[in-house]
Chain A
Amino acid sequence: MTYAPGQTVGPFFHLGLPYAGDNELVPPGRPDAVRLHGRVLDGQGNGVPDAVIEIWQADPSGAVPRVGGSIKRDGWTFTGWGRAQTDPDGHYWFSTLEPPSFFAVTVFARGLLDRLFTRAYLPAEQLDAFLGGLPPERRDTLITTREQRGLRFDIRLQGEGETVFLTFPGQAT
């Protein structure tokens, strides 16, 4: 079978993808809410103002949410999935809860011909097997920086400090 190839999300995705509350997996005011945020940067270090970032994550206990409600959020149910668009500086943010290990991240942008997968790991003493297998300078691109009220994760599409992007077994490239 021929897999459907990807195509760029283009410049007009704001028409179809964003919706109210897309980046608020939990209401930002909640005491245990954290902000996961950062900038998407191009090969010259400029912010990418037309990118979409999606996250998919376990809840704080490590359970994978199996419930709907990510589009019409009720303010109580943790669905584990969210979507954010970058602002004119290339900055995105989510209000969410901390998973035990990593956020699965998908990146789309005008100029990016197919989506990219990556992981945003929580800082931890022990490296897991995947991180341990990467050279240190590349590994650091996948580890979030802890801040007072959250976690910082910049995504560099190209060049110095280029983020590690992933492919999975069976995926054509």
Chain B
Amino acid sequence: METQADISREIAELRGRGGPQPQLDYPPYRSSVLRHPTKDLVLADPEGVELWAPCFSSRDVAADEADLTIQRAGEPLGERMVVTGRVLDGQGNPVRHQLVEIWQANASGRYWHQRDQHPAPLDPNFVGAGRCLTDENGTYRFQTIKPGPYPWRNHLNAWRPAHIHFSLFGTDFTQRLVTQMYFPNDPLFDLDPIYQSITDPKAREALLASYDHELTTPEYSLGYRWDIVLTGTHRTPLEDQQ
């Protein structure tokens, strides 16, 4: 099995090679080798249903689903925190009343998932999944705990930087995004082929939350802010009036 030094060498060779999106063909992430398309994406004009995004409503999402610390009988272990920010389209307009879904490891870096074999403890009081709808300003807000970094089997002694998985919708179908939010100054960034598959450093920064003392609650919780800009919308104002 390759070592971190082997993978780091491959990462270094590919640095700066691509654009602002992750490179789908990125061999340092070994699982991508047989799962990336080899032909160019075909440019299409969005048509019909693609000009719209699915709607979600308060019927779909209960308010308490945004608090990952109250889903079980007791208090989860770890560093309590709020994660909040705005979902914006490429023109800077808020994406209102839209679904945000998250999932994450617990404070020890262990997922509530059968396939996670990391011998770190499960926390009986932390499942690690939540949902909310953005408000009128495009703001989402979750109460959770800070996830731990965790090992994986891409290469010998591979570790993922701490992250929260985010699933987002915009105002049209083409804005659909699944990504990961990271924490500032993680020492594992340079070593991680998933994060480094975005070879443009400025684009990588768009996945970094920032610590915000304004979001903390005294003697209770820390806070991070992460704003998410989706690609532009394709609908004309006339279509919006339909």
Query: Which A residues have a C-beta under 8 Å from some C-beta of B?
Result: 1-17, 42-44, 46, 48, 54, 56-58, 62, 64-72, 79-81, 99, 101, 104, 106, 108-117, 119, 130, 134, 138, 157-159, 162-173
Contact = CB atoms under 8 A, between A and B. Distances in A.
A5 B22 contact: yes
Contacts of B173: 56, 104, 106, 117
Interface string B82-126: 000000101010000001011101000001110110000000000
Interface residues of B, number: 82
B229 A165 contact: no
A4 B206 contact: yes
A173 B229 contact: no
Interface string B15-54: 0000111111010010111111111011111111111111
B32 A69 contact: no
A108 B112 contact: no
Nearest to B130: A16
A77 to B, nearest CB: 10
A111 B103 contact: no
A117 B174 contact: yes
B26 to A, nearest CB: 6
Contacts of A1: 88, 90, 92, 229
Most B Cβ at <10 Å: residue of A42, A112, A168: A168
Interface stretch (B1-9, B55-63, B215-223): B55-63
Given A8-B194, A68-B55, A112 B35 contact: yes
B180 A56 contact: no
Given A17-B167, A101-B48, A2 B202 contact: yes
B213 interface: no
A109 B178 CA distance: 11
A115 B176 contact: yes
Interface in B213-242: 228-232, 234
Nearest to B111: A12
A112 B24 contact: yes
Secondary structure call for the A interface: loop
Given A2-B206, A69-B59, A166 B44 contact: yes
Most B Cβ at <10 Å: residue of A12, A42, A106: A12
B54 A5 contact: no
A152 to B, nearest CB: 20
A104 B47 CA distance: 10
B113 A5 contact: no
Nearest to A11: B115
Contact of B37 (A71, A108, A111, A116): A116
B12 interface: no
A170 B232 contact: yes
Contacts of B178: 6-9, 108, 115
Contacts of B231: 3, 168, 170-172
B90 A170 contact: yes
Given A17-B103, A42-B34, A72-B60, 17 more contacts: A4-B229, A7-B197, A8-B178, A12-B111, A15-B113, A15-B128, A56-B50, A66-B52, A71-B99, A111-B34, A116-B37, A130-B44, A130-B47, A158-B36, A167-B43, A168-B43, A168-B46
Given A9-B178, A58-B48, A167-B44, A114 B24 contact: yes
B179 interface: yes
Nearest to B203: A5
Contacts of A170: 90, 231-232, 234
A6 B45 contact: no
Contacts of A111: 29, 31-36
Contacts of A108: 178
A67 B24 CA distance: 34
B35 to A, nearest CB: 4
B189 to A, nearest CB: 13
